[in-house]
Amino acid sequence: MTAAAKLPWALSVTDLFTIGIGPSSSHTVGPMRAAVHFAEQAVATATPTRVICQLYGSLALTGKGHATDTAVLVGLCGWLPDRVDPEAIAPLVTEIRATQSLKLAGVSDIVFDPEIDLQFMMGEFLPEHSNGLRFEAHYADNAPLIATYFSIGGGAITGDTVINSSSNIALPYAYGSGADLLAICHKEALTIAEVVARNEQAFRAEAETHEFIDAVRTAMMASIERGCAIDGTLPGGLNVKRRAKAMRDTLIKRGPRIDPSQIFEWVSLYALSVNEENAAGGRVVTAPTNGAAGVLPAVIKYYETFVPGATAEGSRTLLMTAAAIGFLYKNNASISAAEMGCQGEVGVACSMAAAGLCAALGGTPGQIENAAEIGMEHNLGLTCDPIGGLVQVPCIERNTMGAIKAINATYLALNGDGQHIVSLDAVIETMRQTGEDMRSKYKETSLGGLAVNVVEC
């Protein structure tokens, strides 16, 4: 089997699902991780006299709207996305700006003026990736430490100094394509979720994987609950009002009787609530990104609320199967909107959620692959054109569309036998080609589409 040759490293569910903060996995979570990594390297040498960070490409063009500057400052102080208290971020950044200093890696006090030392290189792109960061640490008696990082989507970072701990792990069922995955399922008489579960045993004990998946599901449900409990206006200057709380209150007042249209309203509410939390910088799960963080939680909540006989094991199956599909997109295309447009975020999330729900409902591997293909096929060409560089319009509503499409794709696939014209591999390759052909102004730069036309109107 040729799968292993296609994998740049062995991916785990922990690479795809990250409990972090909003508003963006590629612009917030990734840069924060890069800043932490650099800060630790910098103080390991000596106490720097000065640290500089330069942001390139999409990180510069939409960095302020995506809170990249905030992420870098918090990361330089040593805070990782899954460890920092979202409520503590604003006071920390205010203190840094007021004192023009920070505690690098949490241990070394240095002078740092964000207006001078955090530089937005507008219009400049590094050739390796659209999301580039370059750090410099200068010392009194040592040569400067210079490192470049790339935030490649979903909170993942690469760079010359970043070593992936899973690069040498051999998976028992490595696969590089959807066809490979189906062949493994057929040959070994395994479900897709079982393939993922057995591969995860190369990283950790089965109980630890279950614990992680359950924690992801719990964090997703918590983001729905928080989003439904808070109203007000989202930060950033667009004055977008939070709608989830009022929408939930309206649905509750209608009473317990549920018709099909109300089910769609509830699903939309679930996605809306998560992405309003994300836009406010709250705690969400990258799934596979922050901009698409509401799709999978909404579909899981749909399964647990409206599907008779739903179980905790079914939710695990949903997430493990979704991860299997996410690995294919991450390895064979990209989940970065700066490379693929929003088809690489909401489109991928829709494809993952459709596959996961189909599995939870008892679909065969062929039906699951079909559901994943349908989920992406009807998101091809979706641009990323956030107004004001904020993950709000059209991003929040786009997650509701992705969740509804995922459910629709599931039932279309379940009504078939798994045989279909367009394969998942073909649609992933089409997404990749479409992303490469898409003009950069439609890929998270806020230089085209709604980002400019709504402002001009």
3-class SS letters over 333-369: CCCCHHHHCHHHCHHHHHHHHHHHHHHHCCCCHHHHH
To which residue do tokens 């479900």 refer? Answer: 191
Task: Please tell me the predicted confidence (pLDDT) of residue 455.
Answer: 58
Contact (CB, 8 A) for 198 and 173: yes
- Same-domain check for residues 206 and 332: yes
Instruction: Out of 104, 130, 159, pick the residue that ends a domain.
Output: 159
Task: Please give the Cα distance from 216 to 284 (Å, whole number).
Answer: 9
Task: Please give the Cα distance from 299 to 449 (Å, whole number).
Answer: 28
Instruction: Out of 99, 124, 159, pick the residue that ends a domain.
Output: 159
How would you classify the pairing of strands 131-138 and 145-153? antiparallel
- Same-domain check for residues 198 and 254: yes
Task: Please tell me the predicted confidence (pLDDT) of residue 166.
Answer: 55
Task: Please tell me the predicted confidence (pLDDT) of residue 6.
Answer: 38
∠239-454-401 over CA atoms, to 5°? 75
Task: Please give the Cα distance from 167 to 180 (Å, whole number).
Answer: 20
Tell me if 167 is assigned to some domain.
no
Task: Please give the Cα distance from 50 to 302 (Å, whole number).
Answer: 51
- Same-domain check for residues 214 and 286: yes
- Same-domain check for residues 223 and 95: no
- Same-domain check for residues 337 and 218: yes
- Same-domain check for residues 137 and 89: yes
Q: Among candidates 1, 24, 6, 2, which has minimal Cα distance to 330?
A: 6
- What CATH number did the domain enclosing 368 receive? 1.10.4100
Strand partners, 137: 51, 145
Task: Please tell me the predicted confidence (pLDDT) of residue 257.
Answer: 73
- Same-domain check for residues 319 and 389: yes
- What CATH number did the domain enclosing 78 receive? 3.30.1330.90
Q: Which domain holds residue 250?
A: 178-442
Tens-level pLDDT at each residue, the chain (457 residues): 333 333 445 899 999 999 999 999 999 999 999 999 999 999 998 999 999 999 999 999 999 999 999 999 999 999 999 999 999 999 999 999 999 999 999 999 999 999 999 999 999 999 999 999 999 999 999 999 999 999 998 999 998 666 555 556 899 999 999 999 999 999 999 999 999 999 999 999 999 999 999 999 999 999 999 999 999 999 999 999 999 999 999 999 988 777 888 999 999 999 999 999 999 999 999 999 999 999 999 999 999 999 999 999 999 999 999 999 999 999 999 999 999 999 999 999 999 999 999 999 999 999 999 999 999 999 999 999 999 999 999 999 999 999 999 999 999 999 999 999 999 999 999 999 999 999 999 998 999 999 999 854 4
Task: Please give the Cα distance from 12 to 148 (Å, whole number).
Answer: 25
Token output for 190: 């395994």
Contact (CB, 8 A) for 223 and 277: yes
Tell me if 2 is assigned to some domain.
no
Q: How many domains does the chain have?
A: 2
Mapping DSSP to helix (H, G, I), strand (E, B) and coil, where does residue 174 land? coil
Sign of the CA dihedral with 119 first, then 120, 124, and 130 last: positive
Task: Please give the Cα distance from 345 to 351 (Å, whole number).
Answer: 10
Rounded to a whole number, what is the distance in angstroms from the first to the last CA of the chain? 55
Instruction: Out of 109, 126, 159, pick the residue that ends a domain.
Output: 159
Task: Please give the Cα distance from 71 to 335 (Å, whole number).
Answer: 20
∠159-279-125 over CA atoms, to 5°? 35
Tell me if 165 is assigned to some domain.
no
- Same-domain check for residues 274 and 131: no
Contact (CB, 8 A) for 21 and 81: yes
To which residue do tokens 């749909």 refer? Answer: 302
Q: Among candidates 376, 309, 313, which has minimal Cα distance to 342?
A: 376
Task: Please tell me the predicted confidence (pLDDT) of residue 4.
Answer: 34
Task: Please tell me the predicted confidence (pLDDT) of residue 10.
Answer: 82
Tell me if 336 is assigned to some domain.
yes
- Same-domain check for residues 228 and 124: no
**Region of residue 369 (left: phi > 0; alpha: psi -120 to 50; beta: else):** alpha
Q: Among candidates 323, 324, 306, 294, which has minimal Cα distance to 361?
A: 306
CB neighbour list of residue 104: distance below 8 Å, 6 or more residues apart: 39, 42, 43, 47, 48, 51, 76, 77, 78, 110, 112
Q: How many angstroms separate the Cα of 427 from the Cα of each of 26, 278, 374, 453, 456?
A: 23, 29, 9, 30, 35
- Same-domain check for residues 226 and 359: yes
Task: Please tell me the predicted confidence (pLDDT) of residue 457.
Answer: 40
Contact (CB, 8 A) for 176 and 332: yes
- Same-domain check for residues 155 and 185: no
Q: How many angstroms separate the Cα of 369 from the Cα of each of 181, 190, 342, 419?
A: 9, 14, 21, 10
Tell me if 425 is assigned to some domain.
yes
Tell me if 449 is assigned to some domain.
no
Q: Among candidates 202, 181, 183, 200, which has minimal Cα distance to 192?
A: 181
Tell me if 237 is assigned to some domain.
yes
Tell me if 1 is assigned to some domain.
no
- Same-domain check for residues 239 and 202: yes
